Amino acid sequence: MTEFLNWLNGEIIWGPPLIALIIITGIYVTVRSGFFQVCHLGYIFKRTLGCILRKDHVTDENDKGLLSPYEAIATAVGGSVGFGNIAGVATAVTTGGPGAVLWMWLTAFMGMLIKQVEVTLAVYYRRTDEEGNPYGGPTYYMEYGLGEERHWGKKWLPLAFVFGLGIFSTFFISASNFTTSEVLAQSFGIPQELASLLLVVFIYALIWRGVKNLSKIFVKLVPVMSLGYLIFGLVIIVLNIGNLIPTIVSIFTQAFTGTAAMGGFAGVTVSKAIATGMQRSVYSNEAGWGTSPMVHASSKTRHPVEQGLWGSFEVFVDTFIVCTITALSVLITGEWTSGATNATLALNVFQNNLGFFGTVFMTATMVIFSVTTSGGWYVYYEATLRHLAMNHPTVKKWLLRMFKYFYALPPFLLTLYLIHVGDLSIWTLVDITSGIPTFINVFVVLILSGTYFRLLKDYKARYMNIGTLEDKDMPLFYEDKKKLEKAE
């Protein structure tokens, strides 16, 4: 079974078809948008980070939505910035070598536009439930974008089914509990089973009061945990500054030559570096995965593209800042050749460079990242369940209640299995569950990209003084467009 799953992951799911699809879609939307993520990077920061610093991210009361843009980005970052940035990136280096980092960066560069497109589509095609709250995501733009606008009829259903199956497979297969309980056990000498159970308690305490309460928690936790990790990661890099230039050179050269065996590192080929870098990029920043658009779809915003800018900002912070700090700290210290893997490698880096403080800090960071990531994913699952039972309020209420009761148990059971029975890498399972929905979602994003470019043209004319506004009364949300068509 182990050999089969490794083959399925490496040759089929994360084989040439998915890698080619991500690259083709990323290049297409980047070129057609005029390299928007480069030419207008300053504007993206102005409308995202600038709004946070100026504290003017509170939207107009007439803007439609459940969450403010900042609450949405904090919740989405809470779901993406987490153990994947630490244990995931550390694993990328030990699996794909230094060259995997360059492919992670290149994937994130394209991902800034892919995520902007998928967030824009999620906001545009979102629907309002019986309580007046908007929800959306890939299954929504499959139904309304493909099913209605593209006249696919019911042909969108198989895509939505496979996508939803991939998303909910992560309900049973998640790395957060295993990797974090591993760090807790190693740091404080407690059984990993007990550490895993403690995480279950923390997660239930976090999710119990719903999406709105989660967003308020993330607004406070995410900036603090991210900033602290960046500061001490930079301290480690400074302590080993003499190795910085050779480390950067190795990232660029070994991305195209592969990496020879050294120390506890077995050596890899170029194809392995490419696949590993892309896997960890998608798993970390979730660009193309179709997950965080479910949160962004509930945001209050004046224009779908405006929220899409937050998607680009999310990828930039997640990969080019947080993941880069992890990658450099692991490489610059030489720990990546020690034979340690997973979260243990990241813990060793902080422990060996910052002593006892590094151990405590990394452990606390991993716990916070794990809990916020699990909370962010709870929002994703809830959005999918709401769409599944959209026309059946009683069924929806029952589904959401039962899901809340059982949410944190499968990762706990998986951890127990891996501790006592499993001989399979947790990251093989994780890559399989992320690859399936990513393939479906990126394919749909490519098909519906015309809607994004129409909205982008309108947004640039309205708010960026670029081009001519062709129709000032154009409906900015699909729901409004349908109401207008019915009225006529």
pLDDT higher at 265 or 445: 445
Residue 156 has pLDDT above 90, yes or no: yes
pTM for the predicted model, two decimal places: 0.85
Higher pLDDT, 170 or 146: 146
Q: Residue 81: its pLDDT value, please?
A: 57
If you average pLDDT over residues 180-187, what whole number do you get?
Answer: 85
Asked whether 436 and 162 are in contact (CB, 8 A), the reply is yes
Domain ranges in the chain? Answer: 1-53+72-487
pLDDT tens sequence across 326-353: 899 999 999 888 888 777 888 899 999 9
> What would the two tokens of residue 368 be?
């916070």
Q: pLDDT digits over 22-79, tens only?
A: 999 999 999 999 999 999 999 999 988 787 666 654 445 555 555 555 555 555 555 5
Instruction: Give CA–CA dist 299/158, Å, rounded.
Output: 28
Report the CATH architecture of 1-53+72-487.
Up-down Bundle (1.20)
Please give the pLDDT value at position 400.
82
* More confident: 170 or 347: 347
Q: Mean pLDDT lowest for which of 104-108, 312-316, 336-340?
A: 336-340
C-alpha distance from residue 369 to each of 229, 284, 307, 362, 439 (Å)? 10, 12, 24, 10, 26
Q: What is the pLDDT at residue 58?
A: 47
pLDDT of residue 328: 94
